[in-house]
């Protein structure tokens, strides 16, 4: 028999390489290649052109029933999913350890069970007693969730199939997929081969039985645990649970969704009684806002169709010439910051090149909305000139390298949210229309904003 070929699998992205390398050629992560047994050895007898059965092909105009949805009753969770869990689907929830994935899913499991569905929660990380204690602390002690601490996929599948007198389960949580192992594969739990093989079996169970299955996946920065990225293409929906452990709020974001959009988010706050829903996120992010301080600007970010007001904070420190200035960013893209700084310097004549620049999005929020450019620019100008932006103003707009302020999507939605929270002026791209309760100032070029803020207009 031919000797099995060695193969090395990147624990971050799942790419396979036939020799060990320090850096994965696919995703660029370092020290993530680990030797794993080859999953399948193909030979001539695996000739796929023989022995197949003919498929019954269908047409596009047939009526298919909409997949059945299962609301978990936590509105922020259902919203991120695009309207609840879909029967027969697989959902992956990824996030840093300790961010609250188990808490959120236990709360969802409890609600769904109380609504009369058959719910199974499998923990591979905690003992059943631990999960039970947590459930009791969350006020879910009486929810009819069937609980087990297990890691063998074979045992789990046998249990699920026989559950409820053979009726099976409607909703299954696997916490976490990295602790599961399939005895078909030699590799250790947590390796790419194991995680993939275990997930494959569990997902197949969901498709066959019509249960909605949720796989919890830890994300680690150093790539020592197989990342959820290797599973993203296998599941129907991928949710990312984000936030800083030092802050109480959490955001649940759909990254991929076969049954809905990926632009809605759910906002939660971690408290004594688990994760609470935050129906009005803007008020959460602005509670500790520093008013009339140079460098602080309120930006109306848009998450899907939902505006969220966040505070952008900038600090600049002029250095004695010669020293290399530091640039540090929390919550925004550092490349984007460099671009805004360059535009301020080249198009508006602000000599920021020699200054240290710190940028922070308050509350640990991570901004991805391109309309933040103008808010960041305003915060930088304000910090640099030590002139505060009026406390009742919000700022938004995209910047081009030429220093032009570009229009952005949904300006009216952003302005309305600001008006609702008591803001009375909106600084943004030229041509936007005002909404009730808020006056607008439009800028065609960044230089006009600089002139206004420095009193040069």
Residue 100 touches which of ligand TYD, Mg ion, none (CB < 5 to 8 A by kind)? ligand TYD
Task: Give the count of residues interacting with ligand TYD (CB under 6 A).
Answer: 15
Q: How many CA atoms lie within 13 A of 134 on its CB side?
A: 22
Among the listed residues 11, 72, 85, 101, the single contact to ligand TYD using CB under 6 A: 101
The CA–CA distances, whole Å, from 243 to 257, 266, 331, 363, 382 equal 21, 12, 10, 9, 28
Q: Give the whole-angstrom CA distance, residue 304 versus residue 263.
A: 4
Q: Rule CB under 6 A: say whether 214 interacts with ligand TYD.
A: no
35 to 74, contacts with ligand TYD by CB under 6 A? none
Q: Rule CB under 6 A: say whether 98 interacts with ligand TYD.
A: yes
Q: Is the dihedral of CA 177, 183, 185, 189 positive or negative?
A: positive
Binding segment for ligand TYD (CB under 6 A), chosen from 53-61, 133-141, 342-350, 361-369, is 133-141
CB nearer Mg ion, residue 102 or residue 118:
102
CB nearer ligand TYD, residue 52 or residue 98:
98
Binding segment for ligand TYD (CB under 6 A), chosen from 160-168, 204-212, 266-274, 385-393, is 266-274
427 pairs with which residues across the strands? 395, 441
Are 239 and 253 a contacting pair, CB within 8 Å?
Answer: yes
Q: Rule CB under 6 A: say whether 439 interacts with ligand TYD.
A: no
The DSSP secondary structure of 388-436, one letter per residue, reads PPPTTEEE--EE-TTSBEEP-TTHHHHHHHHHHTT--EEEEETTPPPBT
The CA–CA distances, whole Å, from 401 to 329, 344, 367, 420, 453 equal 20, 10, 20, 33, 20
Q: Rule CB under 6 A: say whether 217 interacts with ligand TYD.
A: no
CB nearer Mg ion, residue 102 or residue 360:
102
Q: Rule CB under 6 A: say whether 102 interacts with ligand TYD.
A: yes
Q: Nearest 5 degrees, angle CA 217-CA 276-CA 371?
A: 75
| Residue 203 backbone dihedrals phi, psi, to 5 degrees | -65, -40
CB nearer Mg ion, residue 120 or residue 379:
120
Q: How far is the CB of 168 from ligand TYD (least distance, A)?
A: 26
Among the listed residues 14, 82, 88, 95, the single contact to ligand TYD using CB under 6 A: 95
Q: How many CB atoms neighbour CB 367 within 10 A?
A: 19
Binding segment for ligand TYD (CB under 6 A), chosen from 94-102, 206-214, 315-323, 337-345, is 94-102
Q: Rule CB under 6 A: say whether 331 interacts with ligand TYD.
A: no
Q: How far is the CB of 105 from ligand TYD (least distance, A)?
A: 8
**What does the binding site for Mg ion look like in residue numbers (CB under 5 A)?**
102
Are 383 and 447 a contacting pair, CB within 8 Å?
Answer: no
The CA–CA distances, whole Å, from 256 to 70, 88, 90 equal 18, 17, 12
Q: How many CB atoms neighbour CB 371 within 10 A?
A: 25
134 to 173, contacts with ligand TYD by CB under 6 A? 134, 137-138
Q: How far is the CB of 138 from ligand TYD (least distance, A)?
A: 6
Q: Rule CB under 6 A: say whether 182 interacts with ligand TYD.
A: no
Q: How far is the CB of 134 from ligand TYD (least distance, A)?
A: 5
Residue 89 touches which of Mg ion, ligand TYD, none (CB < 5 to 8 A by kind)? none
Residue number with the shortest CB distance to Mg ion?
A: 102
Are 383 and 344 a contacting pair, CB within 8 Å?
Answer: no
CB nearer Mg ion, residue 121 or residue 396:
121
Q: Rule CB under 6 A: say whether 363 interacts with ligand TYD.
A: no
Q: Give the whole-angstrom CA distance, residue 321 versus residue 355.
A: 9
Chain contacts with ligand TYD (rule: CB under 6 A): 95, 97-103, 134, 137-138, 270, 272-274
């Amino acid at each position: 028999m031919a000797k099995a070929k060695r193969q090395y699998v990147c624990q971050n992205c799942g790419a396979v390489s036939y020799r060990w390398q320090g850096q994965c050629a696919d995703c660029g992560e370092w020290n993530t290649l680990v030797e794993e047994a080859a999953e399948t050895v193909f030979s001539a007898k695996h000739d796929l052109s023989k022995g197949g059965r003919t498929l019954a092909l269908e047409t596009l105009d047939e009526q298919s029933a909409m997949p059945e949805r299962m609301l978990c009753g936590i509105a922020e969770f259902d919203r991120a999913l695009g309207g609840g869990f879909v029967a027969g689907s697989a959902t992956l929830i990824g996030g840093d350890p300790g961010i609250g994935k188990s808490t959120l899913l236990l709360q969802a499991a409890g609600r769904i069970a109380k609504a009369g569905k058959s719910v199974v929660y499998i923990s591979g990380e905690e003992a059943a007693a631990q999960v039970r204690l947590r459930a009791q602390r969350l006020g879910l002690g009486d929810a009819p969730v069937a609980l087990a601490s297990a890691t063998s996929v074979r045992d789990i599948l046998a249990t699920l199939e026989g559950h409820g007198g053979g009726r099976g389960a409607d909703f299954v949580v696997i916490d976490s997929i990295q602790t599961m192992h399939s005895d078909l594969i030699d590799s250790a739990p947590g390796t790419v081969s194991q995680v993939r093989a275990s997930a494959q079996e569990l997902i197949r169970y969901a498709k066959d039985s019509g249960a909605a299955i949720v796989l919890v996946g830890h994300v680690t920065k150093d790539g020592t645990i197989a990342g959820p990225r290797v599973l993203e293409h296998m599941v129907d929906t991928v949710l990312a649970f984000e936030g800083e452990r030092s802050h109480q709020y959490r955001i649940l974001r759909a990254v991929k969704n076969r049954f809905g959009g990926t632009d809605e988010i759910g906002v939660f706050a971690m408290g004594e009684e688990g994760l609470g829903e935050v129906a009005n996120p803007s008020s959460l992010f602005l509670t500790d806002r520093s008013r009339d301080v140079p460098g602080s600007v309120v930006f109306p970010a848009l998450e899907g169709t939902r505006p969220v007001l966040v505070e952008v904070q900038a600090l600049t420190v002029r250095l004695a010439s010669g020293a290399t200035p530091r640039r540090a960013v929390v919550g925004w893209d550092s490349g984007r910051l460099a671009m805004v700084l360059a535009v301020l310097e080249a198009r508006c004549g602000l000599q920021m090149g020699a200054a240290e620049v710190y940028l922070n999005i308050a509350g640990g929020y991570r901004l991805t909305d391109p309309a933040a450019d103008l808010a960041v620019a305003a915060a930088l100008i304000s910090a640099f000139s030590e002139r505060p932006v009026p406390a009742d103003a919000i700022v938004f707009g995209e910047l081009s390298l030429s220093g032009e302020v570009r229009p952005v999507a949904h300006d009216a939605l952003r302005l309305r949210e600001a008006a609702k929270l008591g803001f009375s002026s909106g600084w943004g791209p030229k041509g936007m229309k005002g909404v009730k309760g808020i006056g607008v100032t439009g800028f065609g070029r960044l230089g006009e904003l600089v002139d206004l803020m420095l009193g040069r207009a």
